[in-house]
C-alpha cells in the first residue's frame, strides 16, 4: 500500500497532475496598478573571509604565509638545508623574510616548500605566475611544482631555473605551465648556486584570474558571483569587521596600497568554533578594499563597506577595554570619512590619490556605508551617533546603514529599531539564521513595517534546517518562499543578501553557504540558484497580487503557497514567483488583470527549481543535480492555468506586446 502511494505521488509529481481533485486557487495580478519601485540594490551579495572565503578561496593566491608573518613564521612551509628567518626586510609592515645559504656540502640542498591552502590546485595546461622579492648576487634558484601524493613520489612535474642578480631587493617572476592536474601540489624552491640569497613575498597565482588581474581573483568563484547579477555587494563581513579585540578589527587602511606591505591580521574564524579549528587561517588583506570596490564595479553592484564602530565583537569580548570610549572615537570616525574619500574623492585628495595610484583614478561612486555589524545595547547607538553626525555633515548624500543586532526579534532587536529611527539612519541591517518554521511564519514579516522609518537591509540570512544545518533543497525552497515577502514589500525592503557566501569543503566553519569549492572546482547550491533567480528576475516595480481575493501572504489559509509579482518596465515583462511549500500539487489559475484591449502576453516561460529529495543539494561531484529548468508555457488570453508541483519554486514570465 505504501509503495503504491509513493508510486502514485511520484507519477503525479512528474506529470504535474493533482492527486486529489482540488479546486484551483485563483491568483490575480493587477497589471494596471504598478506599485513600489524595486531598488536596483534589492538582491545582492554578502562577503566575508569565513570558511576560507578570501585567503584560500576567492583571492587567487596559492601560497599560504607568503610573507613569513604568521605567528609561527614557517607555518605552511617545510625548510631544508640552511634556511634562516630574518626580520629586517624591505616591507615595513611585513619585516620577515628567509635567507637561503650554502647547505655545507655540494650534494646537499637548501630550500623551502609551501603546502598551499589544503594543497595547491593546478590544472593541466594552465599557467601559474610565480613571483618573489629577492636579493643576492649571481645566484640561482629552481622553482618547482611537485606532486604530493601519499605514495611518496614528491617529485617535480614542472620546474624552472631563475637567475637572481641584484644587490637590492627586486621582484622576479616566472610562469610555470602545469602538465598535469593536481589538487594538492606543493611549491618547492631550491637554492642551486653556491652562495646566499634572500627571499620575501613568495607568490603563485593562476595567470588566468578573473579579468586577468595580477593580484587577482579565482575565476570560477568570481564568475559565480557575477552570474547572480548582484545589485549590492557588502564587504568585508560579518564578525571580522568587529575583531575579537580592537587590535584585530578589520582596518581598511591596512588593506590598501602595495600588497607586499599589507600587514597580516588574525582571522577570528580560525578559533571561533573549537570543533572546526584552523590554526593556519589568517587574513593577508591581499584582497583588500581596493579589490572589493573593483569587484563591485565589475559586477555592476553598489559597494557597501561596513566599518567598525569602535566596539569589538560583543559575543566574544565584552570587556571594557575591548571598546573605544565614545569620546575617543575620533580616529574611527576619520577612518569612515577617509574611506569615502578613498572611494569617491578627487585624485588630488590624499585618499583619492591612493586610489588613482592603485590604478583607478575614476571614482568608485560609493553611495552606502555601514557602521557596526551585530552590535547591541545602548553602547551601539551611543557609538553610532557621532559617526552619523560626521558623515551627514561631510557627505550628506551617503546613505548610512545601522544594525538591529544579531537577532531577528527579541529585546535587543526591539530596543535597537527605535534607536535607529531616532538616529535617522537610512537602512537597518537585520540578520536571521533561522529554522524552517521561522521562514514559513515570516513570509509576511514586512507587510506591516513602518513605511516612514529607515528601510530594511536583510543583510544576513539563511534557512538553517532544524537538525539539518547544511545545504539542502528544502532550506532553499523556504528561502525562496520567504523572499516573496521581501519582494512584495520592496517599498520598505531595499536590500537583501544571503550569508555566508563561500565555503572551502576542507576548511569550513559555518554552513550552509551559497557556493562551495575545493582547490579546483566549485559548486552552486540550491540556495545560490534561488538568489540567482531573484537577481535575474527582480523587475522594476511590485504589482499587487491576491489569492482567492486575499492579499498573498503565505500565511494561514493559503495552503503553503507563497508568491509575489513584479513588472519590468525595461523588458516589458510580468514575472510571478510562486513557492509551493506544501506536499500537494496545487492547481493555480493565474489572471493578469487590467491589461488594455490591445495588450497581449507572449513568450511565456516557466522556470522551475525542484527536487524530489528535499535533503539533497548539488555537490562538487554532481554540481548540476538541481538546477533551474526552463520550459515554454502558453496562456489562454490573460489566464494561465497550471499545476504547481509539491515543494517547488517556480517563476512564470510573460512579455507584454501591444498590438496597435
* Residue with smaller CB distance to ligand AHR, 185 or 225: 225
If we measure between CA atoms, which residue out of 241, 265, 251, 411 comes closest to residue 314? 241
CB atoms within 10 A of CB 499: 24
Identify the H or E element spanning 658. strand 648-658
Identify the H or E element spanning 82. strand 82-86
Minimum distance of ligand AHR from residue 269's CB (angstroms): 8
DSSP codes joined into one string, 431-477: EEEE-HHHHHHTTTTTTTS-SSSPEEEEEEEEE-BTTB-S--HHHHH
Q: Is the dihedral of CA 290, 292, 294, 300 positive or negative?
A: negative
DSSP state of 211: G
Residue nearest to ligand AHR (CB): 238
* Residue with smaller CB distance to ligand AHR, 31 or 312: 312
The answer to whether residues 22 and 213 touch, using CB atoms and an 8 Å cutoff, is: no
Gyration radius from the chain CA atoms: 27
Q: How far apart, in whole angstroms, are the C-alpha atoms of residue 209 and residue 205? A: 8
Minimum distance of ligand AHR from residue 239's CB (angstroms): 4
Minimum distance of ligand AHR from residue 288's CB (angstroms): 18
* Residue with smaller CB distance to ligand AHR, 412 or 591: 412
* Residue with smaller CB distance to ligand AHR, 250 or 652: 250
Catalytic site residue from 61, 200, 266, 374: 374
* Residue with smaller CB distance to ligand AHR, 238 or 560: 238
Q: How far apart, in whole angstroms, are the C-alpha atoms of residue 451 and residue 90? A: 56
Q: How far apart, in whole angstroms, are the C-alpha atoms of residue 485 and residue 281? A: 38
Minimum distance of ligand AHR from residue 232's CB (angstroms): 16
Question: Which residues form the interface with ligand AHR (CB under 6 A)?
Answer: 48, 50, 237-239, 373-374, 406, 431, 460, 499-500, 510
DSSP codes joined into one string, 389-430: HHHHHH-TTSEEEEE--SSSSSHHHHHHHHHHHHHT-SEEEE
Please give the biggest Cα pair distance in the chain: 93
Minimum distance of ligand AHR from residue 284's CB (angstroms): 19
SS (H, E, C) 340-352: HHHHHCCCCCHHH
* Residue with smaller CB distance to ligand AHR, 58 or 239: 239
Minimum distance of ligand AHR from residue 242's CB (angstroms): 8
If we measure between CA atoms, which residue out of 504, 471, 654 comes closest to residue 568? 654
Using a 10 angstrom Cβ sphere, with 0-12 exposed, 13-18 middle and 19 or more buried, the burial of residue 90 is middle
* Residue with smaller CB distance to ligand AHR, 141 or 240: 240
Active site residue 302: no
Minimum distance of ligand AHR from residue 468's CB (angstroms): 18
Name the residues annotated as catalytic: 374
Amino acid at each position: 500500500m505504501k509503495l503504491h502511494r509513493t508510486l502514485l505521488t511520484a507519477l503525479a509529481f512528474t506529470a504535474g497532475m493533482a492527486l486529489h481533485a482540488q479546486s484551483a486557487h485563483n491568483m490575480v495580478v493587477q497589471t494596471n496598478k504598478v506599485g513600489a519601485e524595486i531598488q536596483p540594490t534589492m538582491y545582492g551579495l554578502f562577503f566575508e573571509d569565513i570558511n576560507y572565503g578570501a585567503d584560500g578561496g576567492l583571492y587567487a593566491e596559492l601560497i599560504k604565509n607568503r610573507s613569513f608573518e604568521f605567528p609561527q613564521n614557517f607555518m605552511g612551509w617545510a625548510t631544508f638545508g640552511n634556511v634562516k628567518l630574518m626580520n629586517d626586510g624591505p616591507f615595513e609592515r611585513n619585516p620577515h623574510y628567509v635567507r637561503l645559504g650554502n647547505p655545507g656540502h655540494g650534494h646537499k640542498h637548501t630550500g623551502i616548500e609551501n603546502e598551499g591552502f589544503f594543497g595547491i590546485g593546478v590544472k593541466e595546461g594552465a599557467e601559474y605566475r610565480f613571483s618573489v622579492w629577492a636579493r643576492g648576487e649571481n645566484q640561482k634558484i629552481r622553482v618547482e611544482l611537485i606532486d604530493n601524493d601519499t605514495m611518496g613520489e614528491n617529485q617535480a612535474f614542472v620546474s624552472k631555473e631563475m637567475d637572481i642578480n641584484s644587490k637590492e631587493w627586486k621582484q622576479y617572476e616566472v610562469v610555470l605551465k602545469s602538465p598535469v592536474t593536481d589538487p594538492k601540489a606543493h611549491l618547492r624552491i631550491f637554492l642551486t648556486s653556491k652562495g646566499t640569497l634572500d627571499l620575501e613575498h613568495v607568490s603563485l597565482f593562476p595567470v588566468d584570474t578573473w579579468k586577468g588581474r595580477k593580484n587577482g581573483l579565482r575565476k570560477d568563484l568570481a564568475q559565480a558571483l557575477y552570474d547572480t547579477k548582484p545589485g549590492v555587494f557588502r564587504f568585508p563581513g560579518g564578525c571580522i569587521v568587529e575583531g575579537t579585540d580592537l587590535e584585530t578589527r578589520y582596518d581598511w587602511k591596512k588593506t590598501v596600497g602595495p600588497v607586499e606591505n599589507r600587514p597580516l591580521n588574525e582571522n577570528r574564524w580560525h578559533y571561533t568554533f573549537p570543533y572546526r579549528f584552523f590554526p593556519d587561517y589568517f587574513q593577508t588583506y591581499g584582497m583588500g578594499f581596493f579589490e572589493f570596490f573593483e569587484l563591485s564595479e565589475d559586477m555592476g553592484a553598489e559597494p557597501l563597506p561596513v566599518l567598525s564602530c569602535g566596539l569589538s565583537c560583543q559575543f566574544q569580548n565584552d570587556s571594557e577595554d575591548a571598546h573605544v570610549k565614545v569620546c575617543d572615537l575620533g580616529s574611527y570616525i576619520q577612518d569612515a570619512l577617509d574611506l569615502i574619500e578613498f572611494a569617491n574623492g578627487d585624485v588630488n585628495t590624499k585618499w583619492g590619490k591612493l586610489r588613482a595610484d592603485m590604478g583607478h583614478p575614476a571614482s568608485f561612486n560609493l553611495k552606502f556605508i555601514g557602521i557596526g555589524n551585530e552590535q547591541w545595547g545602548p553602547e551601539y547607538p551611543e557609538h553610532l551617533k557621532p559617526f552619523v553626525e560626521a558623515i551627514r555633515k561631510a557627505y550628506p548624500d551617503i546613505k548610512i546603514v545601522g544594525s538591529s543586532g544579531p537577532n531577528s526579534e527579541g529585546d535587543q532587536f526591539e530596543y535597537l529599531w527605535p534607536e535607529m529611527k531616532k538616529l535617522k539612519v537610512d537602512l537597518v541591517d537585520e540578520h536571521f539564521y533561522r529554522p524552517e518554521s521561522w521562514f514559513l511564519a515570516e513570509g509576511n514579516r514586512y507587510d506591516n513595517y513602518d513605511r516612514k522609518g529607515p528601510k530594511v537591509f536583510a543583510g544576513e540570512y539563511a534557512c538553517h534546517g532544524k537538525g539539518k544545518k547544511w545545504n539542502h533543497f528544502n532550506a532553499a525552497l523556504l528561502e525562496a518562499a520567504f523572499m516573496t515577502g521581501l519582494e512584495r514589500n520592496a517599498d520598505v525592503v531595499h536590500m537583501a543578501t544571503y550569508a555566508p557566501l563561500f565555503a572551502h569543503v576542507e576548511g569550513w566553519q559555518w554552513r550552509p553557504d551559497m557556493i562551495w569549492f575545493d582547490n579546483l572546482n566549485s559548486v552552486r547550491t540550491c540556495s545560490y540558484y534561488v538568489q540567482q533567480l531573484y537577481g535575474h528576475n527582480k523587475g522594476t516595480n511590485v504589482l499587487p497580487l491576491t489569492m482567492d481575493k486575499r492579499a498573498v501572504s503565505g500565511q494561514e489559509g493559503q495552503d503553503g503557497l507563497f508568491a509575489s509579482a513584479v513588472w519590468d518596465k525595461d523588458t516589458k515583462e510580468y514575472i510571478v514567483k510562486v513557492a509551493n511549500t506544501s506536499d500537494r500539487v496545487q492547481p493555480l489559475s493565474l489572471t493578469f488583470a487590467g491589461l488594455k484591449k490591445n495588450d497581449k502576453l507572449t513568450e511565456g516561460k516557466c522556470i522551475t527549481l525542484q527536487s524530489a529529495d528535499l535533503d539533497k543539494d548539488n555537490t562538487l561531484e554532481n554540481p548540476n543535480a538541481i538546477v533551474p529548468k526552463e520550459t515554454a508555457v502558453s496562456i489562454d488570453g490573460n489566464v494561465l492555468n497550471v499545476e504547481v508541483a509539491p515543494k517547488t519554486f517556480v517563476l512564470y514570465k510573460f512579455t507584454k506586446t501591444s498590438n496597435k
